[in-house]
Amino acid sequence: MPLLRLTDRGLYCEAGDFFVDPWGAVDRAVVTHAHGDHVAWGCGVYLTSAEGVPVLRARLSAEAVVAGLPYGERTSLDGVTVSLHPAGHILGSSQVRIERNGEVWVVSGDYKCDPDPTTTPFETVRCHTFVTESTFGLPIYRWPPQREVLADVKTWWRANQAAGKCSLLYGYALGKAQRLLAGLDPEIGPIFTHGAVERMTAVYRAAGVPLPPTAHAGTVDRRADWSRAIVLAPPSADGSVWTRRFGPQATAFASGWMLVRGARRRRSLDRGFPLSDHVDWPGLLAAVEATGAER
């Protein structure tokens, strides 16, 4: 019997009686990270990395039972050895190492190999079977150096200031927004956030991640001058009534999908910055090879 099998509720380890990132409520869930597509509400017990506990708690109800396991520390679930290892995706993200009778499987969750200052860097974990994500699993996806992308963001911000426009930068509220924030220079101008971004940024600050000061845009007088400001917001805010308060504005989205020009055109954005929290094609191939996995 394989250590993991795919069921209608996700990846299930029958020997240990637990699911990895289940698609619905289960008794015992091992969670790689706190993004909504990896977390199911209503599970009996959640196990995630110790670093990821406050992030997961911020996404779940107060009644949720969340246990934390330090990176690299092993625990036994019904005789199956489980440990969590850094995935480099967002704060607290993990790969799940599962071992029984000398056989080792690793479930990567979402990951990236390039380090950034907001999360623990990806760790290669040797295994027999590697279950990997492949969000950008095509040869066209090759990320430019992140320092160049972040430099482009700051150049764009300055150009918008010169044109008297607010810089409205979209990025996912958990992970991407904080990575962008870590790369911004508050000397250029004031940095504001959407409420969803501000809430998750507070979790990062509490975890000791160094980030420049921000202010919640919703607390500022709508008549304020936004022309020097940059505002970080989730993609769902694009085109909403909330954005009208900023007056003349330039819009951009930070995502790996922005590497494809058509994706930017479809969203009617002024700019797209190809900054991803997922591994690109060369990184995916290198990560798979480094595990030594037989399959």
Instruction: Give the tens place of pLDDT for each residue, 15-64.
Output: 999 999 999 999 999 999 999 999 999 999 999 999 999 999 999 988 89
- Same domain? For 108 and 204 the reply is no
- Using the structure block, give the residue that is written with the tokens 């637990």: 18
- Same domain? For 181 and 285 the reply is no
C-alpha to C-alpha distance for 158 and 261, rounded to whole angstroms: 23
- Same domain? For 39 and 162 the reply is no
- Same domain? For 91 and 210 the reply is no
- Same domain? For 126 and 172 the reply is no
Cβ contact 4:80 at 8 Å: no
Which of these, 38, 67, 35, 65, lies nearest to 53 by C-alpha position?
67
45-49, strands of its sheet edge to edge: 5-7, 10-13, 18-20, 28-30, 45-49, 66-69
- Same domain? For 64 and 122 the reply is yes
Cβ contact 19:71 at 8 Å: no
- Same domain? For 201 and 175 the reply is yes
- Same domain? For 211 and 161 the reply is yes
Question: Does the pLDDT at position 263 exceed 80?
Answer: no
Residue-level pLDDT at 222: 76
Residue-level pLDDT at 62: 84
Q: What is the CATH number of the domain that holds 209?
A: 3.40.50.10710
Q: What is the CATH number of the domain that holds 89?
A: 3.60.15.10
- Same domain? For 112 and 215 the reply is no
Residue-level pLDDT at 223: 80
Cα–Cα distances in angstroms (integers) from residue 67 to residues 30, 121, 252, in the given order = 10, 22, 38
Share of the chain above pLDDT 70, in %: 99
- Same domain? For 39 and 91 the reply is yes
Average pLDDT over residues 81-98: 99
- Same domain? For 193 and 243 the reply is yes
Q: What is the pLDDT of residues 111-169, one digit of tens each?
A: 999 999 999 999 999 999 999 999 999 999 999 999 999 999 999 999 999 999 999 99
Residue-level pLDDT at 107: 99
C-alpha to C-alpha distance for 98 and 74, rounded to whole angstroms: 10
Average pLDDT over residues 288-294: 98
Share of the chain above pLDDT 90, in %: 93
The total number of structural domains that make up the chain: 2
Question: Does the pLDDT at position 265 exceed 80?
Answer: no
Structure tokens at 22: 């289940």
Residue-level pLDDT at 268: 82
C-alpha to C-alpha distance for 259 and 143, rounded to whole angstroms: 8
Residue type, 215: A
The mean predicted confidence, pLDDT, of the chain is 96
C-alpha to C-alpha distance for 193 and 219, rounded to whole angstroms: 10
C-alpha to C-alpha distance for 183 and 153, rounded to whole angstroms: 9
Question: Does the pLDDT at position 220 exceed 90?
Answer: no
- Same domain? For 266 and 283 the reply is no
Question: Does the pLDDT at position 189 exceed 80?
Answer: yes
Question: Does the pLDDT at position 262 exceed 80?
Answer: no
Cβ contact 281:256 at 8 Å: no
Cβ contact 203:52 at 8 Å: no
- Owning domain of residue 190: 146-273
Residue-level pLDDT at 64: 94
C-alpha to C-alpha distance for 285 and 241, rounded to whole angstroms: 43
pTM of the model: 0.95
pLDDT band of residue 221 (cuts 50, 70, 90) is: confident
Residue-level pLDDT at 1: 79
